[in-house]
Structure 1
Amino acid sequence: MSKWIFQGNPKQFTINEDKYPDLHDINQYVKEGKIIDWSIRQKHHTHEVKEGDQVFIWRSDGGEKNTGGIIALAEVHSEPLDSDREYPQVELGVIETRLNESEGMLLRHKLKELPESRSLLIMRLAQLTNYKLTDDEFDMLLKFWNDPKLLEERVDKSLIEKYLMYYKEEFDNFSKEFEYLEKSYRYFQKFRDPEYIKSMEWEDFQLIGQQVNAYRMAIARSRAFGQMNAASIDKYRESFLYLVHGSDPLEYRMDQFLNNEKYKLFGIGTNALSEIIGNIFPEEYCFYNQRDKVAVENELEIDPSYQRGDTFSTRFMKYQKAIKVHDIAPAYENVIGRQTNLPIYYEVDQFFSFIFNKFKDKHAIENEAPKYWLLAAGENGKYWSYFKDKEQISIGWNELGDLSKYKDKKEIAQSLKEKHDYDHNPRNDALANEQFVREMKEEDYVFIKAGTSQLIAFGQVVSPYQYSPENGAQHSFRDVEWIRYGEWDVSDLPIHQKTLTDVTPYEDFLQEVLQKIEIIKEPESEYEVNESEPYTVEDITRDLFMDLEKVEDAIESLDYKKNIILQGPPGVGKTFVAKRLAYYHMELKSLDNIEMVQFHQSYSYEEFIRGFKPDTEGRFVLQDGLFYKFCRKAQEQPEENFYFIIDEINRGNLSKIFGEVMMLVEADKRGKEFEIQTTYSKEGEHFYIPENVYVIGTMNTADRSLAMVDYALRRRFAFIELEPGFDTDSFKEFLQTKGVSQGFIATIVSLMKEINTEIVNDKVNLGKGFEVGHSYFTPDHDITDEQGWFERVLRLEIKPLLKEYWFDQEDKVHELLNRYQ
């Protein structure tokens, strides 16, 4: 039997007056109707709703804040029937009704305070009518429905207690790591005996690579323990004897183990050391890895009070102190109770891992734009009829079982190797399964392919990942609402052979595919603009790490000046900002209204405006340049705004590139009344820049080799200064969505502000225009090792830039980059 939430809006709810003449609003309808009709507006659910299914009826706020939530429990009385109404109708038998909190209604804003219910689909996609629930989700809501006081009690608990109560109910699904941890515990307890360490051989030390999670990647394990990196086995013995049994405080010993050449061992970094200490002294110390830090600092909102200049070992100790001060271990024992014979911090670590796994995407989920996926329906589309009939998609590989049980794609790859006896690493297959279970989201879109030359369907994902061995031929699946299906030849497009591919980044490919299947119209003329999604102040606040006051300066400048230049140091995202300002100014996210070019020293008038250029047969013919064509496009659509972005505008010879058109760029020289003949105009032909064209230039203020913008052009532009956004809340929130802990975010911000202060204070060689921007620290993927990621950015991107700035002061660069340690 399926479980559901059916939602109704009290302001827009319609009742069949012929069938229910005496019922006039949603409350009366649910309370007095007994057997009532409900629309099935999500068509993919039509064939899934069966007699006997249980349904929660959800009344939305309807404009009255904090009044929405679950008001009734019902049962499907009859399966959906076609009617003369717009959508199929299903009859519900109302079992129990509670229209307000005093009657036991489950209020939405209270459910949203609990970690187990705030991620329900109805919380994230509030505009739908029919929501399918998993059995676990339904049971959770039913538990609160049967005992509304329990919800009140949960809401009043501390944040830590809320998470612990959730973990207690999910423990069985997150306990598989204990077998691995028990092996690590038994291995490392031998280190408590100094005589054992003195007798260890290289093979004994190599076992560290198998017992520490930081070495699950083969390359990391091989670097550290593939072969002995020290001069002799004695150094390994001496280093571990000092680390475990030295007379100095442990914080100092850890610092020496990491940094003193006498004890330092190649390949054993901070994450590994954290686990080694946690395994040797698990009664006193918890692991201090990426997952634990994010859980404690970002989700449980515990501040370990790190300070500028803290070493790793100092941060490790402050983290341990914070855990103890907040009584996490006692709270765990009180709520959960001991579940193993292992020391308490092993169990606490698994609790933190549970939090990390459940909520790593919490900050981004409501704002995430839908992705587009390309999925194979088996070889040559053999499963398409199954997908179509079931209104589902599947990834196959039933032999893997429930994909949500795997920690990551490495575990999936290992399982595939074992089950199929592969002699290679099935990376693509493992990635496809990982993306299907974790990256694909509700509201994403999916294209179904048959081979590499044909598309056969397009639909929208409308459910989370689901697994059921009873689900026909495909055990891992997601529900889909099919939007269009047919047969479309795409042999002229680059179709990936992989089972599942995220094609969102390939904008040109997407545009062509959506046109082929007629989701968007192919332009009837060269200048037709496609429909686009709105772009609001909330979007630009999230996207840009800059003050809204500066955003408004840029927008007002576009209004009255029509031309702006965004200038700033490397890495402030000038080109990224230019696009978002264009979106915000036209209030639409439409790439069709934007053209971009990058100037360089060889760029010419003939390329930009017009000139004679060779055609495909080698003959020189008169051809329109990029800006000329763009202005003609804008002239065809005077009701639309168009934006021409010139990246690195100061790299080109501006007088040469613009020629006589420079006059027309000025805001008060726009329109047909100011049209002129250009150098290559045909007889009687004139050119003008329409009023709906806006020019946005970008300029790198740290580019010493180039002259400033031509003064004749300078007076035609407003200049907007962009600065590094390390201090902005949006930058910090962005890094949280990528899995970076709050404490480490503070480290990044603090170090980069110090580096930029040094740059600004160097008035002779550098100055404000040479600061380092935030874009160096905006990863497009989740961070699983924040320290390793940060050190790579410093080593491979920031250090070369600083060495160029201070080419004769290498010691200064070295000192600056080592301040964060």
Structure 2
Amino acid sequence: MQESIDIIQGHAKRLKKLEESESYLFEQLNDLDSEIVDQLINHYTRDRFQPVNLLRLEILNNIKYKNTVTTELIEFIKEKIIAKDTDYFSKYDESILNGLIRYPEKKKSPFVNWAKYFSILFPFFYRSADEEESDNALENIAEELMNTLKLEFYKKHIVGFEGAQNYGASSSWIALFPKKRVSHRKSYQLFLRIHDQIMEAGIAPGSDINDKASNTVDEFNTIEEVIEQLESSKEEAANKNNLLIDYWKFAPGENASRWDEFYKEGIIAIGWDGLGDLNKYTTEELAETLNVENSSISNQIWNIESFRDASIGDIIVANKGRKKCLGIGVIEGEYVFDDERTEYKHIRKVKWLINRQIDFEKTIFRADTFSPTLKWERIKEKYIDADASYRKIFDELEAGKETLPPTKVLPSDYGTQNYWWLNANPKIWKIDSYELGDIQSYTSHNSKGNKRRVYKYFEEVAPGDLVIGYESTPVKQIKGIFEIVEGLHNDENEDEIISFEIKELVTDTITWDDLKETKGLEDCEVIKNNQGSLFSLTAEEFDIIRDLIDERNINNELEKEIIDIKEYSFSTDPEKPFIEDSELKTILDALEIKKNVVLQGPPGVGKTFVAKKIAYEIMKSTDDTKIEMVQFHQSYSYEDFIQGIRPSGNTFKVKNGIFYNFCKKAENDPDNKYFFIIDEINRGNLSKIFGELMMLIETDKRGKYKVHLTYSEKDDAAFFVPENLYLIGTMNTADRSLAIVDYALRRRFRFIPLGPKFNQKFIDLLISQSFSKGFVDNMISKINSLNGKIKSDKNLGEGFQIGHSFFCNNKKDKSENEWFEDIVNYEIQPLLEEYWFDDIEKSQAAINRLLD
């Protein structure tokens, strides 16, 4: 094994130097052997068109003709490719030029994933002979590890230096996982990554398992240390894999004709007897035998392999047709081919736990033999409703188990899959009213019996095709991704329909405007004319829309990772504001009743701080993704807040403002509460900023009253403020612009006063920061005395007092007196001079009393 490790680390060392040193990379590039350059030119001239391959070809031709390749030259070539400059590339043959012309423009640069020069140039330094040598070495390492660790029922997944996405890398890796698991992505792997000098090894959760805490991968210097780590991890990984669970639906023969037989024998079984033992087939061999052109989207192969590879402990739901469930069981045995049976020779042992027919009265099952079901929770709920004693069975079945998330819907790599766009009419059926795994249908004829527009599309739809689900009202937006499970056929009512399974629901809004502004969709059929039901998409167009969905999801996940969402309770918060429980209840009650409140008070009482903590308390979590904050000022406008015309390239376009977007976000997540905090609400021109929305924020108008916005187009949906959105404003009562807060605003908000809190909670905080009690008592006495004078001043009053938050920062390395003097001189004094601007002696006397 050490010899194979040396081979891998030799390649890793060479590639790492190229990856880490740009100057060395380009030195080696410009010094490439002429014979190698010619071989690579020949390869990229014949290879399928990709922008990065044309870039590589042009780089190689520059080297051939002794032109020094630099980073500037590569960026220049990139620009020529993005601009589709056929004159510049006229020296290449017609197939390359046609590929350049036809390559779809996307919102992202075609080189967004090739930002590293190492990724672009990697194939020049890691050629086929290197790849073959590395692959053989990795194969040997994997086999020897499995033998050493006695992993009898395991399989391997190997990724060489080309990397999982072919961007190149200076390390390679091996994942070992149980044969029972369908994929390394759905397994806790015994993982090994080999670098130039060190190795990483341990348990690595697959990419489909959301369990970062179980990652035990660590660094090691020798293969002996790696083996010791994997040996000690073997049992834990096995236990974790045994806890994973999947749910499958199984059709026991045509129209469930074999149910009684299979139930009595304690098995599930499928046909395709002529294939013999399924264990002897790879996916491609199975596809060849069944004469299937595209194995990746073949429902037939998916059914067969899923049946063979389903894990022991997975749950089986026996179905009859699409609406009825016959029983529940759990897989107990590995796949066996029983040639002594007369038919249905492919079997798995199953312990049947329930034998009872339940009619769901709507389609919930696919019309196939063996496939995953996303409807387990609904199935379980229905059985428990029928007989409460079943709850114990389900609890025991799932005790300690972890359900894997549904896989992401991806296009096929083979180019034989079709892609569609379906306009859903919410008046007939709303995508939001369905769940993952639901089977829905769409008729090929309208309510008048006429064929829908472009009827031939309905005839062309085939199982495995992917569909973008779109709703045109109340908001024009993508709502889901579906998979066709049955092409054009007649249902039980003799209506001609297509059927699809809801595979993914899109929770973050992707609007019609987003789509229109996305490069690469300009010539999309549905963008040009959205009149109709079913539209054709190219693979590139589907991929662009898929990228949009992923981009939103990734941003949301990153946002959640960054903010570290935790459970929250005001009562146990060590950093909670100094307000009393009665004040907290007043604010919470006001928000629940009015949905709009303004926290008003003098400077330094923590109004904004309180606003955020109130939101946390209502949500019971620190989920900042459901909180938006903005500060009003005199230049803030309707165009910033709601919607306005903004420059976009060489033209102007309508752009949505922060409040508009946040309303849409809340609208798409009606089960959760959202909070919009407006700091210094009285500083803005409220009539100008809110415009026609002043009415929509009223409690009784939420979700019911809608208006067409000033800049909306004729066919745009009317806008409304959702019921689950709460407005919290803050207002500085010492602000001289207070007069602009008129009755129109006051009528729509509850105004809650907050005052200085020099109470026991405040005292405890300062003492915890090493302030002496005598100093704290003296300071509070002085501030209270000053606030008394401010309150009694007829030109000022309570709203101008000095708040406690001026004194909540830690003194750090300063003495108590230095800390206090700094605050008085640089924060309190300017404020008092503003208060008594016409009586400097009065403000100075107040300062002197504080510093005395």
Q: Please give the TM-score of this superposition, normalised by the length of structure 2.
A: 0.35
- Pick 1 or 2: higher relative contact order, CA cutoff 8 A, min separation 6: 1
Larger radius of gyration: 2
Q: Please give the TM-score of this superposition, normalised by the length of structure 1.
A: 0.36
